[in-house]
């Protein structure tokens, strides 16, 4: 039999949402942190036009997209790398800076793909405890080992939804040795831009990368466009690993157009925040435990993993899919993506009736 290399054979496939809708029910998907509405009409038009030239390879330098990002965030275009989703950038960074002789560190309830990327690079994955679902800088600094090479922090966090201040992230950077790479993953950054000043200036220190994506606030998850601001030396190494034709023509064109349409993106963030806060208020009135979120999802904490199994089965039987969080070490939690008002209303109603049955 042909065998895979050992570390791949030992890995489980990355767990995405399972959306098996029971016969006769319609799908209510609150499971993948997708945007509650399609992308900007300008992005849709740009993607359709780009397909006309689909017999040609896409721009390997992402020139138009980088220029749009550079202008929007007032950052140097040369420092920007665009990925096939920010997942590609997370994977390539890990491969470039960690291996089987060292370790990657992240908060205990971090985005599960940090662990997967670490396993792919054959490195050890260490975690630091969080404090009530919030990243704790002191715990991260205490968890650093002599062989720690990379520290990943998502801010806001997924699946926690919590946010830590710029001051705390600067304190983390200051407390880490200069030869440890800090990756600040701001996949949900647009939902929290109003909270604090941007982090891009930390990249000038030469050992910090800031990642963002078009998958969330810009509603382009299906086009697979992520990006980051990189110090030049790190960008050089990462580019050796990336697929040189990584983002399709339509992906680049729609992303560039979406970035120009800031009004639409900001409107999406406002709509999401309003629906999120209303959904959270309703669930809290029904005595669910729902921490404040700075993203396009909320985390719902239950008394036990058994309760999560029960409520998950109850919701799925009705075609409603929230996301269990065992992968992030939170087996007693479900994550609910903020979707349309109608879907949220149905999901909230189902959660309430599950609770009535559970307590009767």
Ligand X SMILES: Cc1ncc(COP(=O)(O)O)c(C=O)c1O
Residues that bind ligand X (CB under 6 A): 33, 85-87, 111, 154, 158, 185, 187, 213, 215, 221, 226
Minimum CB separation from ligand X for residue 29, in Å?
14
- Strands of 103-107's sheet in order across: 80-83, 226-229, 208-213, 181-185, 148-154, 103-107, 124-128
Taking the least distance from each CB to ligand X, the nearer of 127 and 346 is 127
Q: Which is nearer to ligand X, 93 or 283 (CB)?
A: 93
> Which residue lies nearer to ligand X by CB, 49 or 241?
241
Q: How far is the CB of 242 from ligand X (least distance, A)?
A: 13
Rounded Cα distance, 128 and 138, in Å: 9
Cβ at position 246, least distance to ligand X in Å: 12
Nearest distance, CB of residue 87 and ligand X, angstroms: 4
Q: Give how far the C-alpha of residue 233 lies from the chain's centroid of Cα atoms, to the nearest Å.
A: 25
Closest CB to ligand X among 247 and 347?
Answer: 247
Give me Rg for the CA atoms of the chain: 20
**Tally of CB atoms within 10 A around 304:** 10
Number of CB atoms found within 10 A of residue 13's CB = 6
- Nearer to ligand X by C-beta: 221 or 341? 221
CA-to-CA separations, 248 to 215, 239, 244, in angstroms, rounded: 15, 17, 11
Closer to ligand X at the Cβ: 148 or 155? 155
Nearer to ligand X among residue 208 and residue 346 (C-beta): 208
3-state secondary structure (DSSP) of residue 229? strand
Smallest gap, in angstroms, from Cβ of residue 111 to ligand X?
Answer: 4
In the complex, what is the shortest distance from the CB of residue 47 to ligand X, in angstroms, rounded to a whole number?
16
Closest separation in Å from C-beta 159 to ligand X: 8
The angle formed by the CA atoms of residues 178, 183 and 184, to the nearest 5 degrees, is: 120
Nearest residue (beta carbon) to ligand X: 85
Tell me the C-alpha distance between 5 and 2, whole Å: 10
**N residues, the chain:** 360
**Three-state SS for 209?**
strand
Residue 153, beta-bridge partner list: 184
């Amino acid at each position: 039999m042909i065998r895979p290399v050992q570390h791949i054979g030992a890995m489980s496939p990355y767990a995405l949402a399972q959306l098996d809708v029971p016969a006769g029910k319609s799908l209510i998907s609150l499971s993948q942190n997708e945007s509650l509405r399609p992308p900007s009409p300008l992005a849709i038009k740009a993607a359709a036009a780009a397909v006309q030239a689909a017999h040609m390879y896409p721009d390997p330098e992402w020139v138009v997209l980088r220029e749009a990002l550079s202008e929007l965030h007032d950052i140097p275009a040369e420092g920007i790398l665009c990925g096939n989703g920010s997942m590609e950038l997370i994977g390539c960074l890990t491969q470039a800076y960690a291996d089987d002789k060292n370790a990657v560190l992240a908060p205990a309830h971090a985005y599960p793909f940090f662990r997967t990327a670490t396993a792919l690079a054959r490195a050890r994955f260490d975690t630091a405890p969080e404090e009530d679902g919030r990243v704790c800088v002191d715990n991260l600094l205490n968890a650093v080992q002599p062989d720690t090479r990379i520290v990943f922090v998502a801010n806001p966090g997924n699946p926690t939804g919590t946010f830590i201040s710029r001051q705390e992230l600067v304190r983390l950077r200051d407390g880490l040795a200069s030869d440890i790479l800090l990756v600040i993953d701001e996949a949900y950054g647009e939902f929290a831009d109003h909270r604090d000043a941007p982090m891009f200036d930390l990249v000038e220190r030469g050992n910090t990368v800031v990642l963002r994506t078009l998958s969330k606030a810009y509603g382009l998850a299906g086009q697979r466009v992520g990006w980051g601001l990189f110090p030049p030396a790190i960008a050089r190494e990462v580019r050796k690993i990336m697929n040189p034709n990584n983002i399709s023509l339509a992906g680049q064109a729609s992303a560039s157009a979406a970035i120009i349409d800031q009004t639409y993106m900001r409107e999406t963030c406002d709509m999401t925040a309003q629906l999120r806060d209303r959904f959270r208020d309703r669930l809290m009135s029904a005595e669910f435990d729902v921490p404040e979120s700075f993203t396009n999802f909320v985390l719902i904490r239950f008394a036990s993993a058994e309760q999560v199994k029960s409520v998950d089965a109850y919701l799925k039987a009705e075609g409603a899919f929230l996301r269990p969080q065992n992968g992030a070490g939170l087996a007693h939690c479900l994550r609910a993506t903020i979707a349309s008002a109608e879907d949220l209303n149905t999901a909230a109603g189902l959660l309430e009736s599950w609770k009535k049955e559970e307590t009767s």
